[in-house]
């Protein structure tokens, strides 16, 4: 079968690899889609030390999977079950599934306290796993398969993972009573944050995004309040929209040092800023501006429960691939798509891995 295999920095090869077959407890998936995400760009372009901020050693076997690079790339994926191994009961042949892509140990302090998203031994399929999404055929653990609800496409299935990243961050901001929410950065995670916030019925959802192209796309998806942070003061614009009051919550999906102080200033008293984005560079900001009991926290990945919440939200119609924020390519075009995303053009690119 054909797969996109990452060997090293800027060394991604489309090549023939052995096709996996069913084994006890494992599921074989064919076709479906794989999303290219910001962390894939880090892995592709950056040296190992900075690409994996959690200290993963990509060229040494991961403790939980034994896998190391070269690695079939891609951790945001869906597929159709074409075979199941002995003992598999959660899915059956013909099911369309989204793959929960990371392994966790179940015995570290984080896992034992119900936060596998902080597991110190975490290992992702598509980063340091046996399988990866950019392949015509995948082999995954039964437990990693989440059956797509009736009517949910394989495209949406590949989006569950990044939407779960956004959902986890939004829920960490405790948005339940919020009247106003500001999202920094209208890329795919920002879009996911918007969908999650909208499903909670928040009155004013504002997205700050410097790219005019992206703002147009966001308007088509249904974002009512769009700010250009280059020409507008974000804190002022937020207060104008929200009747003179700052935002209850801010979800940072941008990772732009220049925008950070404005995000803090856009909060109301007691407001909560959750940082989902990665920051390559340090930020200059004055902790004194947190006065008024504002808080900042970081959100990392998601739990299996978040994954299910997003699937339920998809079934309820809270997510869409419409509006032009999704584009699709074939396996042969993965590398050029990575180059394109680096220039900041485009939104979410899904790789169609159906056998050609």
Chain residues that interact with Zn ion, rule: CB under 5 A: 37, 104-105, 108, 111, 119
Q: Which lies closer to Zn ion via its Cβ, residue 172 or residue 247?
A: 172
Residue 222 CA: distances (Å) to CA of 101, 218, 234, 350: 29, 6, 20, 21
Distance CA 275, CA 283 (A): 13
Closest CA to 27 of 144, 125, 152: 144
Report residue 136 as tokens.
């015509």
User: What is the CA angle 152-162-105, rounded to 5?
Assistant: 105
In the complex, the smallest distance separating the C-beta of residue 161 from Zn ion, rounded to whole angstroms, is: 6
In the complex, the smallest distance separating the C-beta of residue 276 from Zn ion, rounded to whole angstroms, is: 11
Q: Which lies closer to Zn ion via its Cβ, residue 271 or residue 319?
A: 319
In the complex, the smallest distance separating the C-beta of residue 39 from Zn ion, rounded to whole angstroms, is: 5
Question: Which residues make beta-bridge pairs with 297?
Answer: 274
Q: Which lies closer to Zn ion via its Cβ, residue 37 or residue 135?
A: 37
Long-range contacts of 94-97 (CB under 8 A, 24+ apart): 95/145, 95/147, 95/148, 96/32, 96/147, 96/148, 96/152, 96/154, 96/157, 97/27, 97/29, 97/145, 97/146, 97/147, 97/148, 97/157
Residue 182: its H or E element: strand 180-184
In the complex, the smallest distance separating the C-beta of residue 64 from Zn ion, rounded to whole angstroms, is: 9
Whether residue 246 contacts residue 239, with contact meaning beta carbons closer than 8 Å, is answered with yes
Distance CA 205, CA 250 (A): 10
Question: Which residues make beta-bridge pairs with 219?
Answer: none
In the complex, the smallest distance separating the C-beta of residue 110 from Zn ion, rounded to whole angstroms, is: 5
Q: Which lies closer to Zn ion via its Cβ, residue 37 or residue 273?
A: 37
Q: Which lies closer to Zn ion via its Cβ, residue 105 or residue 200?
A: 105
Q: Which lies closer to Zn ion via its Cβ, residue 119 or residue 350?
A: 119
In the complex, the smallest distance separating the C-beta of residue 339 from Zn ion, rounded to whole angstroms, is: 18
Q: Which lies closer to Zn ion via its Cβ, residue 111 or residue 193?
A: 111
In the complex, the smallest distance separating the C-beta of residue 138 from Zn ion, rounded to whole angstroms, is: 16
In the complex, the smallest distance separating the C-beta of residue 210 from Zn ion, rounded to whole angstroms, is: 22
Q: Which lies closer to Zn ion via its Cβ, residue 119 or residue 251?
A: 119
Whether residue 123 contacts residue 5, with contact meaning beta carbons closer than 8 Å, is answered with no
Question: Which residues make beta-bridge pairs with 34?
Answer: 77, 351
């Amino acid at each position: 079968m054909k797969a996109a295999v990452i060997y090293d920095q800027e060394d991604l090869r489309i090549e023939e690899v052995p096709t996996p077959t069913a084994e006890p407890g494992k599921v074989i998936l064919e076709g479906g889609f794989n999303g290219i995400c910001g962390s894939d760009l880090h892995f592709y372009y950056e040296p190992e030390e900075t690409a994996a901020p959690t200290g993963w050693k990509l060229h040494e076997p991961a403790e939980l999977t034994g896998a190391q690079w070269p690695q079939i790339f891609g951790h945001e994926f869906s597929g159709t079950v074409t075979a199941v191994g002995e003992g598999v009961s959660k899915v059956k042949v013909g099911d369309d599934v989204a793959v929960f892509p990371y392994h966790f140990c179940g015995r570290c302090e984080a896992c034992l306290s119900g936060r596998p998203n902080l597991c110190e031994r975490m290992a992702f399929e598509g980063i340091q796993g046996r399988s990866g999404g950019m392949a015509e055929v995948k082999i995954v653990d039964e437990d990693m398969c989440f059956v797509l609800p009736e009517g949910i496409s394989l495209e949406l299935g590949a989006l569950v993972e990044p939407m779960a990243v956004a959902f986890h961050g939004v829920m960490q901001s405790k948005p339940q009573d919020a009247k106003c929410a500001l999202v920094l950065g209208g890329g795919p995670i920002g879009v996911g944050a918007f969908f999650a916030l909208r499903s909670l019925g928040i009155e004013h959802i504002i997205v700050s995004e410097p790219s005019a192209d992206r703002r147009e796309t966001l308007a088509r998806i249904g974002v009512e309040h769009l700010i250009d942070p280059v020409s507008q003061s974000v804190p002022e614009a937020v207060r104008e929209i929200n009747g003179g009051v700052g935002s209850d919550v801010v979800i940072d999906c941008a990772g732009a040092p220049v925008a950070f102080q404005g995000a803090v200033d856009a909060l109301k008293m007691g407001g909560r800023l959750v940082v989902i984005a990665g920051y390559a560079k340090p930020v200059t900001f004055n902790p004194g501006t947190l006065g008024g009991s504002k808080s900042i926290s970081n959100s990392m990945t998601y739990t299996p429960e978040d994954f299910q919440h997003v699937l339920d939200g998809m079934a309820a119609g809270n997510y869409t691939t419409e509006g032009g924020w999704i584009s699709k390519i074939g396996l042969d075009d993965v590398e050029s798509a990575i180059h394109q995303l680096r220039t900041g053009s485009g939104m979410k690119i899904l790789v169609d891995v159906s056998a050609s």
